[in-house]
Structure 1
Amino acid sequence: MATSLEHRSAFTAPADAVYPTLVDEAFLTERLRSIGGKGAALLAYDRVGESVEFTLRQGVEASRLPGAVKAVLGGDLVVEREERWRSDGPRYAAVTRVSIAGTPAEIQGQARLGDHGEGSLLVVRAQVRVGVPLVGGRLEKVVVEQVGKLLAAEAEFAESWLAERA
C-alpha cells in the first residue's frame, strides 16, 4: 500500500519566470547548499532546450530524525531525487522519483507548474511506499510530513531567489 502526498506552492511571479529558476543549475546548487542538508550535492544535470533532467542528493543527520525512522535507518537519511522537467504548452511538468538509501522506500510523483491568478502555482502529487512489514504505513506518514516540510522550504527559497533578482 502507498500513502498519497499533495503539496501546493504559490509564487508571486508567473510560471514563465518561475520555471527557469526551478531548473537553473546555479539555483539548484545554492538551494542544496542552503537547505539540502548533510552531504547535499547536484549529482547530474542535463538541459536540452526547455527540457531539464537532474539528480540531487540530500541528507538529514540521524539526530534530527523521528525515532521510528532512526530505528529503520540506523544512521543518517540519504535521499536521491531525480526530476525530469519539460514544457507542456503554457505549463510545465515534471516526473519525479526519490529513493532513500538503505531502505525499501520510494516516492514517485508528478509536478505541474502553471499560471494562477497574478502569479503561479506548483502542484506536486506523489505516492510514498515504504516496504517494511508492520511499520511501513507509519513510516510513510512520517515521510509525507517531512517531504511536505522540504517542499515548503524549497518554495520559500525559490520565492526569495526570484524576489532578489526581480
Structure 2
Amino acid sequence: MATPLAFTAHSTHSMTAVRAAFANEQYWKDRIEAVGGPNARIDSLRIDGDNVRVEMTQTIPASELPAQITNIKPNGLIIPRIETWHGNGGTVEAHVDGAPANINGSLTVSGDDKGSSFVVDASIDVKIPLFGKKIEAAIQQHLTELLEREAEFTDNWLSSH
C-alpha cells in the first residue's frame, strides 16, 4: 500500500497571482535554480494560457538521504517530475531513476483576492520488499521539505515581481 503525501501551503497572494506565476516561464527557471537541488534542470516547458506542462529533473544528494536509500542508490536520487496545470487544478507525476519508486497525485490552488492555498494530494509507491515503507517515508519527508521550499519561493517571487 502506498504512502500518502498530503501538503498544504497558504499564501497572502491571491489565487490569480499564484496561477499567473505558474504561467510565467521565468518563474519556473528561477524556481528550479533556487530550490531544485544540485544539477536540477527544466527539461521541457509548455505554456498555453492557463495550460502549463513543466518537465523537470531534480536531485537529492546522497548526503541528505538515510542509509537504507544510499545502500540502494549510493549517488543520491535523480527525480524526473512532471507538473501539469489546467486552470486551478493539475497533476504531478514523478519517479526515481533506476528504482521502482513512483509519485502520483493532484494539485490544487484555491482562494480569492485576499490569499490562496496550494494543495498536493499524492501517493508514494516504492516496490521494494522489506524496505519499501522505510524508503517511502524518507521520500515523503524530503518531498514535504521540497514543497515547503517551493511554496516559500513562490511567495517571495510573487512579492518581488
TM-score, normalized by the shorter chain, greater than 0.5:
yes
Cα distance in 2 for residues equivalent to 1:99 and 1:109: 12
| 1:1-166 correspondence runs (5 A) | 1-87=1-87, 92-115=88-111, 118-165=114-161
Extract structure 1 runs of 4+ deviating beyond 2 A: none
Return closer, same or farther for 1:144/1:23 CA change in 2, 3 Å cut-off: farther
Greater shift in the superposed pair: 121-130 or 69-78: 69-78
Residue type at the aligned position of 1:18: V
Q: How many residues align?
A: 161
Instruction: Compute the displacement of 1:161 (Å).
Output: 0.6
Cα distance in 1 for residues equivalent to 2:24 and 2:97: 26
RMSD: 1.2
Report % sequence identity. Answer: 29
Cα distance in 2 for residues equivalent to 1:63 and 1:13: 35
Instruction: Compute the displacement of 1:117 (Å).
Output: 8.0
Instruction: Compute the displacement of 1:107 (Å).
Output: 0.1
Greater shift in the superposed pair: 153-162 or 114-123: 114-123
Aligned residues of 1:112 and 1:124 also touching (Cα < 8 A)? yes
Unmatched tracts of structure 1, length 5 or more: none
Return closer, same or farther for 1:78/1:50 CA change in 2, 3 Å cut-off: same
Instruction: Compute the displacement of 1:115 (Å).
Output: 0.5
Aligned residues of 1:22 and 1:158 also touching (Cα < 8 A)? no
1:87-138 Cα shifts (integer Å, max 9, x gaps):
1xxxx00111001111100000101001068200011000100010001011
1:126-164 Cα shifts (integer Å, max 9, x gaps):
010001000101111111111100000000001011111
